[in-house]
Amino acid sequence: MLRYFFPLLLVFSFLCSSADAREGMWLPLLIEKFNIEEMHQKGYKLTAEDIYSINSASMKDGVVIFGGGCSGGVISDKGLLLTNHHCAYSLIQSHSTVEEDYLTHGFVAQDYSEEMVNPNLSVTFLKYMEEVTDYIFKGVDDDMSEAVRDSVISENSRSLERSVTEDTHYDASVESFYFGNSYYLFVYEEFNDVRMVAVPPSSIGKFGGDTDNWVWPRHSGDFAFFRIYADKDNNPARYSVDNVPYRPAYSFPISISGVNEGDFTMLMGYPGSTFSYSTSHHIEMLTQYVYPVLIDMRSLKLDVMNYYMDSDDKVRIAYAAKNSSVSNAWKRWQGEINGLERFEVINKKSSFERDFDRWVEEEPDKRVAYKGLTDGFEQLYSDYKEVYLARLWFLEVIGRNGIETLRTAAFFDRLAAAYSVDEPDNTFIEGEKERIEELLNTHFKDFYLPIDTAIAYKLFSGADTLFTDEIYEPLDNIFSIYSETGEPGEFFKEMFNSTPFSDAGTALDYLHSFDGDAASDYRSKPEVLLYNAMRDVYNNVISPVNVRNTQKLDSLKRLYIDGIKKFVTDEKIYPDANFTMRLSYGSAGGYTPSDAVWYNYYTTGKGVLEKYRTGDPDYYIDQRLIDLLESGDFGRYGNEKGELPVCFVATNHTSGGNSGSVVINHNGEIVGINFDRAWDGVMSDLYFSDKICRNISVDIRYILYILDEYMDADYIIDELDIKM
């Protein structure tokens, strides 16, 4: 045993950074088995049953998926919901005009009738979860190819999902854990009538802007209130004037007693994706090959957007959500590189892999399944990295934040195809024209041609040096045929001068006159040819290789995590996040980001005023808030020092998707709402260290103070269960 003493110490320090903070995002169903004893040691006063129960209301019944990618918490018995301002940003934008600019001025309803309808918004509750590994593995054997194995598992999953939701209004999803070693069933209830109740102005909700994104110290009031509506029987229903506020099974009480250094904190929500068990080869590919290219692409997009947004309020409103979306990952990638390099994560993972290989060699017959795993990872990532980058590069060009005119041209693809048959289906054609008209009206509401033109010119600069001819040559051929010089810049100049997809009027006229002759002309348009060339390369060259390599990686990872569990026998290994409900716990506490620097664990209203006085437009606040903060009268929302707490940091392990997650104290009461991570430790999706990884939350006392004193939102305050 002594020969493994030192390697295992390395393993423990690698997998779990410290005894003071619990790394990991844990399944609520398994808290009793894995975590409750440690949670009690750290200060938690309630039971595992209070967190997750099938037989009675529990905290899991007050936690929701908000929209498609955030979390939220129910905070009243009338269906009131708390989430982040940035999670609601596009919704606020959709209600805003230059005349009624809710992004700038905020919004607060004074009664139910003023709450704003959001046609495309839903929230989702988890009804229950259970392990179903044995069922999912029926018919699976070790001799199957990865593709056949996936097919059997997929069919078993669909069969189970159908069986548990038949004759109900519930949805179900079977999800993989530990890279396919375990499977769990999740059953959900979705509500589609969710109305906006109150949002602060962006000068509060987005205070700090992109300057402070991913940064601590932070002073953002990043919160928003919505209300869930149901039919008279409390069941989900589409919007109707007859719907009534939802009566939840559970709603969280709120504590204004505050958070002190070292206090237990717990967070429940839906983290998106983590990659905690990635090998050194994956980290090296990201930091040295992929991220630098993506950062450059996003930098040029932001430069273009910012230039035009700064000079026109209409453009600023139209591109506010797009700019935030582009900026978010751009800054995170830079933080990940810095954090991974600072903690020498490639070296640490390489050391772990060498220890793992030595463990395998000690008993090669018994551990033959794990032999050569790390060599397999090394070879695969070497072969894979160009296609990995190409996939992300193509999405940056024709994806959601890419060249919008190319994607707009693609709206007409199905319509043109409908005219290509001998007997066109007029009913389909009319329906398709209605669909496209709706898409065009939505698109052009938030579109500015000079931005799209400038981004298109710049995205292809130097791209031909990144990829093989197989990937890039089809695009180069389009540029050569449809421009005099064969250069992408010349191609886009000519394209934007002739395209009918550059403004709403021209595009709608083109749609209304679209017929068989137009369909033929459509297929030959340069913008359509370029989009189709990129789509064909993506579907026929990039995607098949990506699928094959992903299957190989899945097979390697499944064996690797199985081996890690046997190698580290005394350590609880948590599953990576996959946008299923998780719980993380830790404690409030400051940290040292660099030599001779110490960050306190909380910020105050004083810091809001200090940042405002720098003159930076990201730190603008109006005179009303200035007067309130300067008054020093914070009533029951102030701390024992007479300060107004604004934000705090803690060691909870979080990821994308945890935005809007309620932060809970030892008594199960909300003390804040999570909205970000500190940039110094943003690499926590890949490597967690409690020395520097911190989640950032708005203190509930600041939220209530803004509601009460700034927004005059007694309508909301009066229905909350507030504990002193």
Question: Which residues carry out catalysis?
Answer: 86, 222, 659
- Write the DSSP string, 42-100: HT--S-HHHHS-SSS--GGGGEEEETTTEEEEE-STT-EEEE-TTTSHHHHHHH--SSS
- Write the DSSP string, 350-402: HHHHHHHHHHHHHSTTTTGGGTTHHHHHHHHHHHHHHHHHHHHHHHHHHSTTS
Secondary structure (3-state) at 662:
strand
Q: How far apart are CA 662 and CA 645, in angstroms?
A: 17
Q: How far apart are CA 490 and CA 525, in angstroms?
A: 15
DSSP summary character for residue 593: S
DSSP E strand boundaries for 19-122: 63-66, 70-74, 80-83, 107-108, 116-117
* Cβ-based neighbour number of residue 299 at 10 Å: 15
- Amino acid making up residue 349: K
Structure tokens at 266: 């717990």
CA dihedral over 171, 177, 179, 183, signed as positive or negative? negative
Are the C-beta atoms of residues 91 and 308 closer than 8 Å to each other?
no
Structure tokens at 310: 């700064």
Contact residues for 77 (Cβ-Cβ < 8 A; gap 6+): 247, 248, 251, 719
Q: How far apart are CA 340 and CA 330, in angstroms?
A: 16
* Greatest CA separation for the chain: 81
Q: How far apart are CA 123 and CA 329, in angstroms?
A: 24
DSSP summary character for residue 685: G
Taking alpha carbons only, the member of 256, 170, 327 closest to residue 635 is 256
CA distances from 601 to 184, 394, 632, 658 (A): 37, 41, 21, 20
Structure tokens at 433: 């024209």
Structure tokens at 66: 């908000």
Query: In the block, which residue shows the tokens 């969710």?
Result: 194
Are the C-beta atoms of residues 533 and 475 closer than 8 Å to each other?
yes
Q: How far apart are CA 198 and CA 713, in angstroms?
A: 8
